[in-house]
């Protein structure tokens, strides 16, 4: 854990390992952005690790006969529709498995202002087409779980967070865990997360977005240890209260149809090199990241961090593999090559544009004051303007919030954009000024007959 925290410059992090005998090791490290030492009771945003909680709430209602997992969402949730004749084919199971046919290429998950409620987000989907036949293609989309949360609200007649607390969190003794509707919601005791790259981390506010059902849970290592024990168990809480049948719990860990064996209900699924099944999920917001992994051998681990970037999911996988007696998993930084490339481009752009500014007068003299001031500087300004919007296309439809998300996750992209725009503008101004000065210093003057002299 110490090596991980130092390598990725994570200010606050905690790892928990539950071995095959049930022994728990908790390793907190660092301090929060408010200077508090990390403990097992320090709150962290767990982002998309929240989806497994929503899945349990839905599965409970299904076992109680109040939700039909394989029935149409539209039949159970009045007002649910999409701009596609296949809307009635979308089932509740499709939502939980991300096989609804909805895609982030059509759903702007970062639109501003954020949806005011789960009901408002469901209404927005009425203008969105399907990208595939329901149940046929796995396309990870947060909105699927917001719809699932709204379904829970309609069926129970209560806010999703209240129902989740009473039906799941309280019975498990997760008294320090809360579900919020917004990714940026203020929670008592929760400090700010961080953004950064290549060893530098800076406290920053979380980007406003709607998170009910898909990423709004705030929890602690102590509470999540109880959650892990439940997931490794038979569907009962520590006091013997049954929350879910063993079959339903294991079904959530089993690949769903249409996912190519990759996703169950609220959990990703993979087969490790040792042949054992792993169920796992990552969590990533703009200023927090996390990862959890469970092994069919009975071990589990999770890692919570208060910074974007890094690879907490790989560290969790490494801990589980070692606990199972298998070779460790490399903990690589998926952002490092891109960040190094962005840093290299930033240095190159600064050097080229700085040189263009310093040599503006010499260039103007060589050109005799003629107006040739565009080329590299103008291209640099254009590239700087388009860089963040272009990168944001990787996250879905372009929007100001998506640009901000790219800036938070890849802050060096913002530095590069600033260098391109500022440096390009400075070079344009320098070249234009030098060209005007050269023309002013070099008026045509008489020379020998038939010759025009120019200094």
Contact 134, 99 (CB under 8 A): yes
- Note whether 201 and 100 are same-domain residues: yes
- Note whether 232 and 363 are same-domain residues: no
- Note whether 159 and 189 are same-domain residues: yes
**Over residues 339-358, mean pLDDT:** 89
With a cut of 90, say whether residue 58 has pLDDT above it. yes
**CA–CA distance from 369 to each of 96, 176, 379, 382 (Å)?**
66, 70, 21, 25
Q: 392-421: per-residue pLDDT in tens?
A: 676 566 665 666 667 677 778 888 888 999
Is 236 among the domain residues? yes
- Note whether 131 and 239 are same-domain residues: yes
Residue 369: pLDDT band (50, 70, 90) is: low
DSSP 8-state code for residue 231: H
Q: 195-236: per-residue pLDDT in tens?
A: 887 778 899 999 888 999 999 999 999 999 999 999 999 999
With a cut of 70, say whether residue 292 has pLDDT above it. yes
Is 305 among the domain residues? yes
- Note whether 250 and 305 are same-domain residues: yes
- Note whether 14 and 96 are same-domain residues: yes
**CA–CA distance from 440 to each of 134, 223, 343, 344, 437 (Å)?**
71, 75, 40, 39, 5
Q: Rounded distance, CA 71 to CA 283, Å?
A: 29
- Note whether 110 and 226 are same-domain residues: yes
Is 452 among the domain residues? no
- Note whether 281 and 185 are same-domain residues: yes
Is 349 among the domain residues? yes
Q: What is the CATH number of the domain that holds 8?
A: 3.40.710.10
The pLDDT of residue 451 is 41
Domain coverage including residue 353: 336-439
- Note whether 58 and 17 are same-domain residues: yes
- Note whether 17 and 118 are same-domain residues: yes
Is 448 among the domain residues? no
Is 344 among the domain residues? yes
Tally of structural domains, the chain? 2
Contact 308, 75 (CB under 8 A): no
**Over residues 151-160, mean pLDDT:** 97
Q: 82-94: per-residue pLDDT in tens?
A: 999 999 999 999 9
Q: Rounded distance, CA 98 to CA 90, Å?
A: 11
The pLDDT of residue 454 is 37
Is 278 among the domain residues? yes
Is 449 among the domain residues? no
With a cut of 60, say whether residue 449 has pLDDT above it. no
The pLDDT of residue 450 is 44
- Note whether 376 and 422 are same-domain residues: yes
The pLDDT of residue 105 is 81
How many other C-beta atoms lie within 10 A of the C-beta of residue 328? Answer: 11
Peptide bond into 113 cis (omega under 30): yes
The pLDDT of residue 95 is 98
- Note whether 317 and 354 are same-domain residues: no
Last residue of a domain, one of 298, 323, 348: 323
């Amino acid at each position: 854990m110490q090596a991980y925290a130092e390598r990725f410059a994570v200010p606050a992090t905690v790892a928990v390992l539950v071995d095959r005998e049930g022994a728990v090791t908790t390793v907190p490290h660092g301090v929060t952005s408010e200077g508090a030492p990390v403990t097992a009771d320090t709150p962290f945003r767990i982002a998309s690790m929240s989806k497994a909680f929503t899945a349990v709430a839905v599965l409970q209602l299904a076992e109680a006969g109040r939700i039909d997992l394989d029935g149409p969402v539209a039949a159970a949730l009045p007002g649910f529709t999409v701009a596609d004749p296949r809307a009635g084919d979308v089932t509740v199971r499709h939502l939980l498995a991300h096989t609804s046919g909805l895609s982030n290429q059509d759903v702007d998950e970062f639109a501003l202002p954020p949806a005011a409620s789960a009901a408002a987000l469901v209404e927005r989907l009425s203008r969105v087409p399907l990208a595939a036949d329901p149940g046929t293609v796995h396309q990870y989309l947060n909105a699927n779980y917001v719809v699932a949360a709204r379904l829970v609200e309609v069926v129970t007649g209560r806010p999703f967070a209240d129902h989740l607390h009473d039906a799941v969190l309280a019975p498990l003794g997760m008294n320090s865990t809360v579900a919020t509707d917004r990714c940026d919601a203020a929670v008592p005791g929760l400090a700010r997360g961080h953004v950064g790259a290549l060893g530098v981390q800076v406290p920053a506010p979380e980007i406003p977005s709607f998170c009910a059902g898909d990423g709004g849970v705030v929890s602690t290592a102590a509470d999540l240890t109880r959650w892990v024990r439940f997931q490794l168990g038979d569907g009962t809480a520590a006091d013997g209260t049954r929350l879910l049948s063993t079959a339903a719990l294991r079904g959530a860990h089993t690949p769903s149809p249409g996912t190519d064996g990759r996703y169950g209900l609220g959990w990703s699924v993979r087969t490790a090199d040792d042949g054992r099944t792993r169920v796992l999920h990552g969590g990533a917001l703009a200023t927090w990241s996390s990862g959890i992994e469970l092994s069919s051998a009975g071990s589990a681990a999770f890692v919570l961090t208060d910074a974007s970037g890094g690879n907490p999911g790989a560290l969790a996988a490494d801990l589980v593999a070692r606990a199972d007696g298998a070779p460790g998993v490399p903990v690589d930084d998926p952002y490092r090559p891109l960040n190094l490339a962005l840093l290299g481009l930033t240095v190159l752009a600064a050097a080229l544009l700085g040189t263009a500014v310093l040599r503006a007068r010499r260039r103007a003299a060589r050109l005799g004051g003629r107006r040739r001031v565009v080329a590299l500087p103008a291209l640099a300004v254009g590239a700087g303007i388009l860089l963040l919007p272009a990168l944001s296309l990787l996250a879905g439809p372009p929007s100001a919030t998506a640009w901000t998300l790219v800036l938070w996750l890849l802050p060096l992209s913002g530095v590069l954009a600033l260098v391109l725009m500022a440096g390009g503008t400075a070079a344009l101004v320098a070249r234009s000024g030098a060209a005007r000065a050269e023309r002013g210093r070099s008026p045509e003057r008489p020379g020998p007959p038939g010759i025009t002299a120019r200094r």
